[in-house]
Amino acid sequence: MKPILYTWGTPNGQKPIILLEELGIPYDLVRIDIGKGEQKRPEYLAINPNGRIPAMVDEEGLTVWESGAILFRLASQHGRFLPVDPQARLDALAWLFWQVGGPGPTLGQAFHFRNREEKLPYAIERFTAEGIRLYTVLEARLAEVPYLAGEYSIADMACWTWMRNGPKMGIDMAAFPHTQRWIDAIALRPAVQRALAVTFGG
Ligand SMILES: N[C@@H](CCC(=O)N[C@@H](CS)C(=O)NCC(=O)O)C(=O)O
């Protein structure tokens, strides 16, 4: 069966679309409108008990939620975009987990507090400062290697959907030239462009 991806056009929701397009496999896409609260409906909570997008029912009918787990499942199944070399594979997993635990929540909060009508300077400064720290970590890595695990992998896909939005979080990208080079290179990939064309709601 085709994998069924439940998602929406946000950074977390775009990651598995990019991988599916990179793999070039057919898939069904179910739009979960998070603006309307569809992610909290019982039928969706049966797939993802966390009530957030994305989630997937895979080719074998297995259910997987959390974007990093979805990327890992698809990459493992298809033997692509997850390096074989042990150190590079661990690097890919480390940067994938880093993204889900670091830039995702931090930049999400930075974006939230910057766009709230009521401005809370402490919250804006705290999440922007932590965001800059995370960009600095990424920049140091990308000064050494073209992609996070050496070769292009699911780690890049996960990080890219967030890090490309730096200016929206008040990040001055002039300070991160290697990161900008990496953002631009990934943006040119046809699969990434196809994935971005599947935009809706975010
Ligand atoms: N750690 C989760 C985060 C998922 C997440 O935060 N998704 C957001 C959209 S980017 C969402 O569903 N928000 C709706 C809500 O919070 O109710 C993952 O990586 O899958």
Q: Please tell me the distance between residue 117's alpha carbon and the centre of ligand 1 in angstroms.
A: 22
Residue 109 pLDDT > 60: yes
Look up residue 41 and give its DSSP letter.
Answer: S
Q: Please tell me the distance between residue 144's alpha carbon and the centre of ligand 1 in angstroms.
A: 31
For 16-42, how does the pLDDT look when each residue is reduced to its tens digit (9 = 90+)? 999 999 999 999 999 999 999 999 999
How many whole angstroms separate alpha carbon 19 and alpha carbon 35? 24
pLDDT score for 201: 41
Check pocket membership of 10 for ligand 1, CB cut-off 6 A. Answer: yes
pLDDT score for 28: 96
For 42-85, how does the pLDDT look when each residue is reduced to its tens digit (9 = 90+)? 999 999 999 999 999 999 999 999 999 999 999 999 999 999 99
- CB burial of 64-74 (b: ≥16 within 10 Å; e: otherwise) equals bbbbbbbbbbb
Whole-prediction pTM = 0.97
How many whole angstroms separate alpha carbon 187 and alpha carbon 143? 18
Check pocket membership of 38 for ligand 1, CB cut-off 6 A. Answer: no
From the alpha carbon of 10, which atom of ligand 1 is closest? 10
What domains can be seen in the chain, in order of their start residue? 4-81+192-197 (3.40.30.10), 86-189 (1.20.1050.10)
Residue 170 pLDDT > 90: no
